[in-house]
Amino acid sequence: MDNNKEISLLIETSKGNIIVKLYNETPRHRDNFIKLAQEGFYEGTLFHRVIKNFMIQAGDPESKNAPAGKMLGSGDAGYTLPAEFVYPRYFHKKGVLSAARLGDEVNPERASSGCQFYIVTGQVYTSKQLAGMENQLNQMKLKNAFDSLARTHMKEIYQMRKANDMNGLQQLQEQLIAEAQNQIAGEAPFKFTPEQVEAYTTVGGTPHLDNQYTVFGEVIEGMETVDAIQQMKTNRVDRPEEDVVIRKVTVLE
């Protein structure tokens, strides 16, 4: 691939067309999406998971001709892609194209599905809400540091609990909190960039997904089609009651 040339693709659906451009900074995801499009992989697949004010998801090969009521979302291409986070340059503003993946519990490296993707719709946030998220993320950083330290003292904690040594447990907790605070003291606290704040308070998005899933492109035309899909009535597992079919994905010259 020519890393200087920006590649766009036309996604033709039963609800209208969407044009996306792919980021050259995520070459594995870019090249894989193009390969699948050229192979006709997506033809006949559905937007099988739609959540209003969140995202619309597609790319499951098992969704082709899937009968009503069939559980979808577990199909794959037989491989995963290593995560390509280009954060904070690319983040989950409305309209971005991102790779779906399995959860951290079974996928700690956050490798992407080889075929499933989603387009963010999200919602608009206030500056106060974003400040609250920043605070939560910084508190979570402290909690993670504390939990990691606590795991190294599990035998000691178990013995204290067995002996009902509440004073000992309290002292150890205070010690570990202090150690956790010292551990993260040299790290800059999390803050959204000005670009994120601008996007999330105007067009909107899903900030809690940032740096968790690979963002590899964005919609440049047809956001009205994306919005029409997210407004559709869905069943209890978020599948649209009326199938939204991807008819074809074409690389634009």
pLDDT, one tens digit per residue, over 47-93 is 999 999 999 999 999 999 999 989 999 999 999 999 999 999 999 99
Count how many domains the chain has. 2
| Residue 195 domain-assigned (yes or no) | no
Contact 246, 13 (CB under 8 A): yes
Residues of the chain above pLDDT 70, percent: 99
CATH (domain of 51): 2.40.100.10
| Residue 141 domain-assigned (yes or no) | yes
Whether this model's pTM surpasses 0.75: yes
pLDDT at 1: 55
For residue range 1-27, list pLDDT tens digits in order.
Answer: 556 789 999 999 999 999 999 999 999
| Residue 194 domain-assigned (yes or no) | no
Contact 12, 246 (CB under 8 A): yes
In Å, how far are 148, 153, 175 from 179, measured between CA atoms?
11, 13, 6
**Domain of residue 89, residue span:** 7-123+203-252
Helix (H) or strand (E) holding 51: strand 47-51
